[in-house]
């Protein structure tokens, strides 16, 4: 018996959904289920590594940064903030990644968990326990209507910022 048989791995953050979203592949389920040569989590490597589940992070891809100097700025230098991401772009990418999460669930690759009991049940059945997690609130409107919709869809963790 290996150590991963005794101690399940639960990841506090992964970029799997962003990587699948950015792949622009039509069949992201196949990419995840059959595996890829590199990148983040896929089903074959998850099984091999004892990955039991994690926080599947959804966040808008960062705006392209201008090329910066290879020399980091001195601590006294102030770098301007990047431009604000238009909310429509944030909504599009957030919904796109959430869609991938639910497509993976429909394909039987993982279980979207809405409670601690769901996490325990998924792990007991040998299914990857996926917690729908958002980092950054760019897609959420001031009236919080989008938050209501995302919660109804399964959102259970929210970090107001990301770096």
| 128-140 residue pLDDT tens | 999 999 999 999 9
pTM here?
0.86
Please check the confidence at residue 30 and state whether its pLDDT lies above 50: yes
Q: Is the pLDDT of residue 95 over 80?
A: yes
Closest by CA to 87, choosing from 37, 136, 25, is 136
Domain span including residue 89: 3-61+84-159
Residue 94 lies in a domain: yes
Residue 78, domain member (yes or no): no
Total number of domains in the chain? 1
Tokens 């962003």 correspond to 18
For position 6, what pLDDT does the model report? 63
Roughly how many angstroms between the first and final C-alpha of the chain, as a whole number? 38
Looking at residue 77, what is its pLDDT? 67
In a domain, 72, yes or no: no
**Residue 33: predicted pLDDT:** 96
Within-domain flag for 48:
yes
CATH number at residue 133: 3.20.20.140
């Amino acid at each position: 018996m290996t150590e991963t048989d005794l101690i399940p791995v639960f990841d506090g953050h992964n970029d799997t959904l962003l990587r699948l979203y950015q792949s622009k592949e039509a069949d992201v389920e196949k990419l995840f289920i059959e595996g890829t040569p590199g990148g983040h989590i896929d089903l074959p490597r998850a099984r091999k590594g004892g990955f039991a589940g994690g926080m599947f992070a959804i966040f808008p891809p960062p705006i392209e940064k201008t090329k910066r100097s290879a020399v980091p700025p001195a601590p006294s230098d102030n770098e301007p903030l990047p431009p604000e991401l238009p909310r429509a772009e944030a909504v599009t990418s957030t919904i796109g990644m959430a869609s991938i999460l639910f497509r993976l669930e429909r394909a039987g690759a993982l279980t979207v968990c809405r409670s601690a009991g769901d996490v325990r049940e998924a792990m007991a059945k040998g299914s990857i326990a996926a917690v729908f997690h958002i980092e950054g609130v760019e897609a959420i409107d001031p009236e919080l209507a989008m938050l209501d919709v995302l919660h109804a869809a399964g959102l259970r963790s929210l970090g107001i910022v990301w770096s």
